[in-house]
Structure 1
């Protein structure tokens, strides 16, 4: 999520306002009347449990039901109410937007990557929202080819996203996906790079993941169900043919699996991936023989996950087979079944083996120990070493390395105080070169900020890591505003990274903290397993315990503690306000997954069946009872709740708009306090918000203005 002189001036003003001796006038909320949603009781009876849902009718825009217009009218009324309540912050929001935008280098260029004779990169121009995808042949001094001008393509569109850029092996054609409604339903287009023409082939309703076979005329891609948006089929398209006649080469029968298609870095193999939370299967094909059937690398088995890494003379396999934190195996090219696997790196209880990247002479192993990532470089000849990182809390990851023959590793390093830095690392000599560091326009001195890694003790004795960043002049007096963020689902680790927008919080006296709660994978695979299904409550209580720890350590107090999370992290926000409503002065819930049971019961809602292994299937009584114990919508009570800003998108494909809309309506009708409750629905966008590189900053400005209004910060 992401340089102008006005931005610099505003930043100077902001810095002048951080002195706590300055008197701030509390924001005066307008005396406006919030919308009242119509009540239309809907009865749900399951497992002998009867529940009345007064706002179920809000699903009708998604279902194209009779109340579709009423849904839009209600969301519009909530938007108008938010505009009224936040009207006094309009100038602040405008200034914040300029300030945030002012830190971004508008004319910029990515570090080029080399593949198959060309250097590829993106570049942006001053004042433009999107980028240009470009290449140069053989040398960076060569003539630039603009492969796709996304600024030009996006003209007149409220949303535009291009993805999956895939160049044919002969470098003459490019396939790519385009989404114009923010619902992740991509149309694949194909461009002739010699003539500049986008040919007539247009493949609708895809994942946006085209993969070329070696013949330069066959494309494999993932086709989606138009209603559920499930990835259901892998299809094969021939250039200059009608997509309606594309052959299906694989159809997924298990609706709990996501599928996709990809190509090995060497270009030799095409893989079909079928992944559930607890098991998966990979099918493979020689890229030189696209008309042959795919064969299974290893048939799926319950609770066994594996990934395939092809080398010239063997396959490596990253797997959790008898190895909770994963181990590395190998097998011959012609004998891929599990009975042929031999161990290369054994399982370790204290190290999570996350990823393996292959090169002709090396592999790079991404591991996680004590919650921090490590990069281990291993020469196929035998010697190995780790790349050293020195900060107490940081993020390190393998970058874009499409050239299989390279002996240079591209990796990315960042921390809460170090801007994103791209390095090239010679895997033989260990020499590293900084290729680019994110520039913060207007200047940035990391020495003005402090980052820490602390540990809170959860109620069951578990130590939960917290990463923090703040200005050096922090006084631990319990009066400092602090924003605590977390996600905590799907085994997705929230690693600490630099964000220039965050400076607008820190420079106004906020502490920013990340709670590395269970449900992520920061502390290993068990960390994830202890925060899902029938142990999901650990995610919520961990976050609360982290908040209490920060209060106990005088980083903040209840009158100044704020919480933020999005999507599954929005579920977290919904749970914590039910469990500990008096701990938070304000909460920002972005695209929150809060109506857990109703969504998981409706298999027509996108992604539902894919999620049973994460949340459970409420058609089973034990899962239903447990989910009902924490589902935010089900657990709203007549009590006081904190100030809240809730955001959603009308076209969201991941968490449908009606979940936060129903949640807010029920909170309004039930809560006993007079605290602020605002709902913002973006009528043009979906789950990820705006597509332009500046428009999303308006959402950040709104979020920050909400926090600042609650803190009495008006500049």
Structure 2
């Protein structure tokens, strides 16, 4: 890398005083995106980064070409049936974005049409061409889409800046013309009423918190749209969804510790929102409403409540969740008088992630031994167990669940979208070295029908690679699961380069998934280790609870323990280890570099949340108040303040030999503002004693997910991986 001189931001002291602690921030002025000096500084940083990494250009080009060469660029997804149509997306070589299409379906035919990449299906109708929508814009992303039951109208929301606010338009698929109404600044989430006359959508407040559910009646002025629901609590997130049979609108309000659900019967024009589970019960749950044999029922995944079962009313006792049912009429009673019937008991070893219904079956999504998978039971059996004469209350036989067998140790299987009436359930499957597969699971027989495996070109052979489970021992003796990925030819001889990757927040799990770009690292002899640290959800709710709030430092020490394991196991040369993470995983990387900078040769932090305390102290900033349930509230709680003050990366940079570091961010990111890595990079450069380059790369037209378009995404990934490979001395393919 070049020894060019990096930009130096001027210092403008900004004093913060909280709970008797004083912090003087010299770079807070970089927060003002409208300040021309801030923009000029970011552009100077980009210019420096380009110069400093210029020698990595050929390596970036090589990795990009490897990704491109392995990708079937002209492709077509497996059609998915909804009502009387098969819906799918196709991509075309040379085009950045998918084209969303449909063809008509024959009655009672549930086998998807056979597809040939590059050959449109007979009778194809284009709903939306992403490339046409993106033309003339620097960015393009969809924020949701919805269809009327009759298939005539298609609503979709588009973001052209990367700030995750969208413009909603409605297209008449019979004519190809758009309706006159255009709704600006909507958020994720839009749904049609069954009659197609109304559309429900979400709006965010100034802090980018979704807080309003609005209703637009087609043909009326947008400024007359009704507010169906507004959430005043700044620490609550609001969302909408339709029930599986699309009769009920479900409004979810909550945070990571408790939630509330309301529902609206869309078949009853005069119906009002009905509270199912109020937040006052402090139960963390999800709810589904469905009708069976003329009676409406509620299906609940929850961690406590008035169910019959072993865990009583105390929230949190069923920390890995349980599943219950109750007639919808039961929720008209006060919570203390309701009776829910347990259909799946709590299990310390199995986390129930969610539940859904088809017209004939209950579908459970669960996590066992870190692995996400699915189970199925006949809905008649479940209802009979819950409400029949020999049901759960009387010790009747529990319903039998079937679980598909996939034959790999480390994999991810989940339910995809399926028509409520379908006799098959669509499943998504992948592993670290099995490309994504689409299955149809025959509900009546348990047969798995493989519909497609995403092709990987260029002579890819999964047998050339190995994925293994290992365990690192944390400082407190906790066993931390690791996923160790490598070329089969790589041996633990203590000479290999290695990359340790982690996240560890919000109960998000780093599940096994195939990645074409990752092959470029493995082919250069790099051992890729995913550290499933506390704060994630890999080992259930307790794993998450042990890595949040006043136990957050477990996340960081787990990652360091994972790094130590990579050395002690012989998989890596201790002088050739890199680390990488994004968003809250970027906070992880920042904290780890402060803890043990000497353990890493190179680090990449993507959209890193490295100035967390400043952000969370300001409830006016995007999402800050919502973060209190994850990190604690440092505004009100001195202990939380002191704890966060002791680890937040920017405020704990110290004189040390930091490795070479790349901070990658986006100018329009609304989740982690670009000021955070901009400040962090300045602090690192000033404190580092190693002389290693520290660079800041800002996408000037992008959001939290980076640039839009698949080729731009490949370029971004090639940039990150070239920085890592160069820093580890692994530029050449060794396979």
Distance 2:354 2:264 in 1: 22
Distance 2:569 2:731 in 1: 28
> What SS does the aligned partner of 1:678 have?
strand
Shift of 1:242: 2.0
Match of 1:325 in 2: 320
Bigger shift: residues 611-620 or 93-102: 93-102
Match of 2:41 in 1: 74
2:55 matched to 1:38?
Answer: no
Would the aligned equivalents of 1:578 and 1:635 in 2 still touch at CA under 8 Å?
yes
Would the aligned equivalents of 2:260 and 2:279 in 1 still touch at CA under 8 Å?
yes
Match of 1:632 in 2: 649
2:592 matched to 1:592?
Answer: no
Would the aligned equivalents of 1:260 and 1:273 in 2 still touch at CA under 8 Å?
yes
Distance 2:285 2:727 in 1: 48
User: How many residues are treated as equivalent by the alignment?
Assistant: 680
Match of 1:199 in 2: 179
Q: How does 1:350-429 map to 2 (within 5 A)?
A: 350-382=349-381, 383-401=400-418, 403-429=419-445
Match of 1:334 in 2: 329
Match of 1:491 in 2: 507
2:69 matched to 1:102?
Answer: yes
Bigger shift: residues 650-659 or 216-225: 216-225
Shift of 1:215: 2.2
Q: 1:130 aligns with which of 61, 83, 97?
A: 97
Shift of 1:425: 1.1
Q: How does 1:209-288 map to 2 (within 5 A)?
A: 209-225=189-205, 227-288=206-267
Shift of 1:602: 1.3
User: What whole-Å deviation, never above 9, does each CA across 1:248-302 have from its counterpart, x for those lacking one?
Assistant: 1111011111101111110111111112111111111111235532111121135
Would the aligned equivalents of 2:440 and 2:451 in 1 still touch at CA under 8 Å?
yes
Q: 1:540 aligns with which of 551, 556, 561?
A: 556
> What SS does the aligned partner of 2:300 have?
strand
Q: CA RMSD in A?
A: 1.3
Q: 2:22 aligns with which of 46, 50, 53?
A: 50
* TM-score normalised according to structure 1 size: 0.93
Structure 1: unaligned runs, 5 residues or longer: 1-28
Q: 2:170 aligns with which of 179, 184, 190?
A: 190
User: What whole-Å deviation, never above 9, does each CA across 1:487-518 have from its counterpart, x for those lacking one?
Assistant: 10000111011101111111111111111111
> What SS does the aligned partner of 1:548 have?
helix
Q: 1:436 aligns with which of 449, 452, 455?
A: 452
User: What whole-Å deviation, never above 9, does each CA across 1:133-180 have from its counterpart, x for those lacking one?
Assistant: 111111446511101111111112110012311001121111111111
* TM-score normalised according to structure 2 size: 0.91
Would the aligned equivalents of 1:221 and 1:260 in 2 still touch at CA under 8 Å?
no
Match of 2:279 in 1: 300
Q: How does 1:152-171 map to 2 (within 5 A)?
A: 152-171=132-151
Match of 1:309 in 2: 288
Distance 2:659 2:56 in 1: 20
Would the aligned equivalents of 1:352 and 1:368 in 2 still touch at CA under 8 Å?
yes
Distance 1:612 1:213 in 2: 35
Bigger shift: residues 96-105 or 661-670: 96-105
Shift of 1:31: 2.5
User: What whole-Å deviation, never above 9, does each CA across 1:628-659 have from its counterpart, x for those lacking one?
Assistant: 11100110111111111110000001100000
Would the aligned equivalents of 1:188 and 1:208 in 2 still touch at CA under 8 Å?
no
2:717 matched to 1:700?
Answer: yes
> What SS does the aligned partner of 1:119 have?
strand
Shift of 1:342: 1.3
Distance 2:327 2:728 in 1: 63
2:135 matched to 1:119?
Answer: no
